[in-house]
Amino acid sequence: VAVRKSGSFNIKTVDKTVQGISWKYCRLLHASDGYSYNTTC
C-alpha cells in the first residue's frame, strides 16, 4: 500500500493497482500483535 499526503491510498493487488482510495473507506483487518483475527460480512 502507498499513502499520499492527502490521505488517499493506492493498493496493489496481483492483478492491478487500485488508486485514490480515501482513508475513510479503509479499516484495520489485522494487527501484528500475536493474536489471530477473523472478519465477518
* 37: pLDDT strictly greater than 80: no
Instruction: Fill in the DSSP letter of residue 27.
Output: -
Q: Residue ranges of the domains in the chain?
A: 1-25
**How far is 23 from 38, CA to CA, in rounded Å?**
21
Contact by Cβ (8 Å): 10, 2: yes
pLDDT of residue 16: 92
Is residue 41 pLDDT above 70, yes or no? no
Burial (CB count within 10 angstroms: exposed 0-12, middle 13-18, buried 19+), residue 21: middle
Question: Is this model's pTM higher than 0.75 or not?
Answer: no
Residue 15: C-alpha distances to residues 10, 12, 32 (Å): 13, 8, 26
> Which residue in the block uniquely carries the three cell numbers 492527502?
6
> pLDDT tens, 7-30?
888 888 889 988 888 888 877 777
